[in-house]
Chain A
Amino acid sequence: MRFIGGVAALLAALAIVPAAAQAQKASDNSAEEAFKALSFQDKLSVCLGCHGPKGVSDTPGVPSLAGQPVNFIEYQLIFFRYDQRKSETMAPFAHPLTDDDLQKFGEYFASLPPPPAAPDNDPALTEAGKELDNGHCEICHLRTGQGDTPRLDGQREDYFVKSLQDYKNGLRSGRGLGVMPEVAYSLSDAEMRELAHYFAVQPGH
């Protein structure tokens, strides 16, 4: 139930739900209902509360979404909506979304400039990640941010590692071709950190 408290606290912090609703003991449905009642702009404010005001996240474990392809955002929201991708944090926000909502979110985040490169405090790690990548990732993850696959440049390192772990552990399955689980199975924890660091310090195109 930890996440529901988190959702209620977040909505309260953003002062977009009445005090009475805050006082009420939140349940799955009430959190969803509260979010569903918001305008698109207010829903967006809730998203940006964690994903960063410009879609560039300062929150540990939360990805930057700025500059991600429309289709990628839409697919992930559909996955969260139907619990295909299971996330206690995202579920109450995604469950009430209509197809129209998630198309608007996709267009909004795709329109933001991609995240800047993180400062490189470990060039040796960058070099190791570059050798490991060896140009393979960008065959599908186009550096210009198109198609169904996410842009990798400038993504938070901690989130990048979490994503690969989730694929490796069967918590995410991707879009059906099974490419990401196949890639992630072969990676050690150290290799995931190398790739994460290498991409985090790359500027978005």
Chain B
Amino acid sequence: MVKERSSVSLIALAGVSAVALAIALGATAAQAASPPPPTGPEYNVQSTNFWLHPPDDWWRAGENEAQKGLVPIPGQPVPTSLADDEKNAAELKVPPGFKVTVWASGVPQAREMAWGDKGTLFAGSDVSGVISAITTDANGKRSVKTVLKGFMHDTGVAFMDHTLYVADPWVIYGWQNPEDHLDSLGDLKDAKVVYSDFTHYGPHNWKVLIPDPTDHALIVNVGAPCSLCIPPPDAGQMRKVYPANGAAELAAIGIRQVVGGAIDPRTGKLWFSENGSDWLGDDFPSDKLELVDKWGSNFGFPYCLEGDKPEAVYGKLHPCSDFVPPVLNLGAHKAPLGMMFYQGHQFPSEYAWNIFVAETGSWNRHVKTGYDVVRVIVGPDGKNAKEEPFVTGFNQGDKVLGRPVDIIQAPDGSILISDDQSSTIWQVSYVGAAAAAK
């Protein structure tokens, strides 16, 4: 009796995934003769019995003895004080000529940011479930207030066509001209629902919203409900949602979880950062930076990792050549989130059109990695990308000063970086090599 039921495991949703697997296999039986994976036992996936009782190790990437104790590193429930933020700003490292300051403090678990039409910066939160509005008065004094609350996990925020959009795990809401009545945006239960065609599940249900202003559309992720599995057919993808009529279409498939991206205004093409699977090792697989050259492209999850490595089990179903490789492998467990194309004039000219990516950092790696903002130098075609560190110093080994989440350009050409650990918005400005040397 005991043997027949599964014990509590981090690999859940087995029933759902089994159905998806059967569907996936039916669709791809002709391609099952892919190159053998580098490791792993043999599986007779053609047999009906296989699908009735898949072997225990078919379900991938659960916790194991070697990784026991690699629990999420403790978070920080309450904001860092302004005084400590200012001390911490001095610990952060940037290239010569740049400086880091505190732009706003006490912004509860600040996540994705968006500028309103009238100069308000809106910020989503992690699990505080609030939207903060940061306004600046005529004297330059900034104030932070909570203007919406009661969300489950409101990581997705965008502003487009005079409307503030917020994505909770299974609802995208919209508020028109919110800056005209910031103090009375009302109760969430009365808010306008823009789109809600999402299956309800726990893992990777949090969202990013990427505005596509040319098409008046929002790109939203639907994460895979697992660390490594063949996801149900309606997950592991990005969708392009049209708020005007609630229609949606697939933007990209074969993805695990995406919490950051941007449309390149030069080409109208979508770029995004993708977080790779956990529990396969400290240095594998890499997180990725990707370019959707053709809408609906498949990026390979879970069959192919890092663009060229067949997954040890699922890799039997599809070769890597079926998928679009990444622009750049960013490194395992870095957890890249928000990204932006630099379009300002404050930074030196070599920064024009560079991509800044916020890497929020590892949660279950033996030695912490990430916790930086990196600069990716690449053209609009995605070829020959290279990266350099841009802001470092959040990760101090035994302690972490903050976790970068999203990046947005300020009107003066500086960049703002949200941080959901310290509840801070940092500003990076270029002050010139001479000023920096003083």
- Seen from chain A, the residues whose Cβ lies within 8 Å of a Cβ on chain B are 71, 74-75, 78-79, 82-84, 86, 99, 102-103, 106, 128, 131-134, 136-137, 139-140, 142, 146-149, 167, 170, 173-187, 191, 195
Contact = CB atoms under 8 A, between A and B. Distances in A.
B8 A187 contact: yes
B205 interface: yes
Contacts of B201: 178, 181-182, 185
A187 B71 CA distance: 22
B150 A75 contact: no
Q: How large is the interface on B (under 10, 10 to 19, 20 to 34, 35 or more residues)?
A: 35 or more
Contacts of B12: 182-183, 185-186
Contacts, number: 134
Given A147-B72, A178-B203, A185-B201, A137 B77 contact: no
B403 to A, nearest CB: 12
B68 A139 contact: yes
Interface stretch (B126-134, B291-299, B371-379, B425-433): B126-134
A173 B203 contact: no
A99 B76 CA distance: 12
6 contacts: A84-B152, A134-B7, A176-B126, A185-B201, A186-B12, A191-B5
Nearest to A176: B127
Nearest to B149: A82
Nearest to A175: B127
Nearest to B148: A82
A199 B111 CA distance: 36
B72 A177 contact: yes
Contacts of A170: 200, 202
B206 A176 contact: yes
B29 interface: no
B68 A71 contact: no
B151 A183 contact: no
B293 to A, nearest CB: 31
Interface in B1-47: 2, 5-10, 12-14
Given A83-B129, A84-B128, A186-B13, A148 B8 contact: no
A78 B10 contact: no
Contacts of B411: none
A183 B6 CA distance: 11
A190 to B, nearest CB: 10
Given A177-B203, A183-B9, 13 more contacts: A71-B76, A79-B127, A84-B130, A99-B79, A102-B77, A133-B8, A140-B71, A147-B71, A147-B72, A175-B75, A178-B206, A182-B10, A186-B9
B14 A176 contact: no
Given A82-B130, A83-B129, A139 B69 contact: yes
Given A131-B2, A186-B6, A78 B128 contact: yes
B319 interface: no
A75 B153 CA distance: 13
B150 A71 contact: no
Interface in B35-78: 63, 68-69, 71-72, 74-78
A136 B12 CA distance: 13
Contacts of B153: 84, 173, 176
Closest A-B pairs by Cβ, 8 of them: A181-B202, A84-B129, A74-B77, A178-B203, A83-B150, A178-B202, A186-B12, A134-B7
A170 to B, nearest CB: 6
B77 A78 contact: yes
A79 B150 CA distance: 9
A195 B77 contact: no
Given A86-B150, A140-B72, A102 B78 contact: yes
A126 B169 CA distance: 36
Contact of B202 (A83, A134, A149, A182): A182
Nearest to A84: B129
A28 to B, nearest CB: 12
B288 interface: no
Nearest to A70: B77
A78 to B, nearest CB: 6
B204 interface: yes
Given A177-B72, A186-B9, A79 B129 contact: yes
A112 to B, nearest CB: 19
Contacts of A84: 127-130, 149-153
Nearest to B3: A131
B134 to A, nearest CB: 17
B325 interface: no
Nearest to A136: B8
Nearest to A85: B129
B74 A71 contact: yes
A134 B205 CA distance: 27
B225 interface: yes
B363 interface: yes
A142 B7 contact: no
Contact of B74 (A139, A147, A174, A187): A147
Contacts of A181: 201-203
A65 B359 CA distance: 35
Contacts of B74: 71, 146-148
Contacts of B78: 74, 78, 99, 102-103
A133 B9 CA distance: 9
Nearest to A179: B10
Contacts of A71: 74-77
B166 to A, nearest CB: 13
A168 B8 CA distance: 14
